[in-house]
């Protein structure tokens, strides 16, 4: 019993030693206009940093290897897979996540168009769709349906609601052109 107790104490000591020896780097990122500074292990993905350190769980994780697009965010204005980037790589960057699209409770025109055109079913892919579409419409304010389909081709919807998603983006484009 004593040996077991002393064995478990040394395991705790070892665990605590290895924790204190962990490498961390201090990083600062600006997300949706707010600066976040935190000590971060180099292995932490940007998606996990946003979700767990910043508390911004709107960025979803599906495949976690760059295929589904659910984790898409904007880094310095360009779309990026947050599951494929390390948080330390984003040090100093300006990031927009889906939480940054609305102004308080007021949805932006793209979000409104998704709402009005039933552009989501379960909603899991929606944050990534919205962020990819944000970049698409910034680059091409008047896309046709084929261009929207191509622009969204890196985002997978497991509910297969692609028609209504494409309709939503086209409607948003029209609203934004005024």
Kindly list the residues in this chain that would bind ligand FES in the complex (CB under 6 A).
Answer: 61-64, 66-71, 81, 83, 120-126, 157-159, 161
Considering the complex, what minimum distance in angstroms separates the CB of residue 156 from ligand FES? 7
| DSSP of 8-55 | HHHHHHHHHHHHHT---EEEEEEETTEEEEEEE-TT-BHHHIIIIIS-
| Nearest C-alpha neighbor of 95 from the set 51, 125, 61 | 51
- Which of 31, 120 has the CB closer to ligand FES? 120
- Which of 40, 51 has the CB closer to ligand FES? 51
Considering the complex, what minimum distance in angstroms separates the CB of residue 142 from ligand FES? 25
Q: Taken in order 23, 26, 29, 34, is the CA torsion positive or negative?
A: positive
- Which of 15, 63 has the CB closer to ligand FES? 63
Considering the complex, what minimum distance in angstroms separates the CB of residue 160 from ligand FES? 8
Query: HEC states along 66-108?
Result: CCCCCCEEEECCEEEECCCCEHHHHCCCEEECHHHCCECCECC
Compute φ and ψ for 104, nearest 5 degrees. 65, -125
Considering the complex, what minimum distance in angstroms separates the CB of residue 70 from ligand FES? 5
- Which of 27, 73 has the CB closer to ligand FES? 73
Considering the complex, what minimum distance in angstroms separates the CB of residue 165 from ligand FES? 8
- Which of 12, 96 has the CB closer to ligand FES? 96
Pick left, alpha or beta for residue 92 (phi over 0 → left; psi -120 to 50 → alpha; otherwise beta): left
């Amino acid at each position: 019993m004593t040996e077991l107790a002393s064995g478990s104490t040394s395991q705790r000591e070892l665990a605590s030693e290895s924790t204190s020896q962990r490498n961390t780097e201090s990083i600062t990122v600006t997300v949706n206009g707010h600066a976040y500074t935190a000590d971060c292990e180099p292995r932490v993905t940007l998606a996990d940093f946003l979700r767990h350190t910043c508390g911004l769980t709107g960025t979803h994780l599906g495949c976690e290897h760059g295929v589904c697009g659910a984790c898409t965010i904007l880094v310095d204005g360009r779309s990026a897979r947050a599951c494929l980037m390390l948080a330390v790589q984003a040090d100093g960057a300006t990031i927009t996540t889906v939480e940054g699209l609305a102004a308080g409770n007021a949805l932006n025109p793209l979000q409104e168009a998704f709402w009005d055109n039933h552009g989501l079913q379960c909603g899991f892919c929606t944050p990534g769709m919205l962020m990819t579409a944000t970049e698409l419409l910034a680059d091409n304010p008047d896309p046709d349906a084929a261009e929207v389909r191509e622009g969204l081709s890196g985002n997978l919807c497991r509910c297969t609601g692609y028609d209504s998603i494409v309709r939503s983006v086209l409607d948003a484009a029209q609203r934004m052109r005024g």
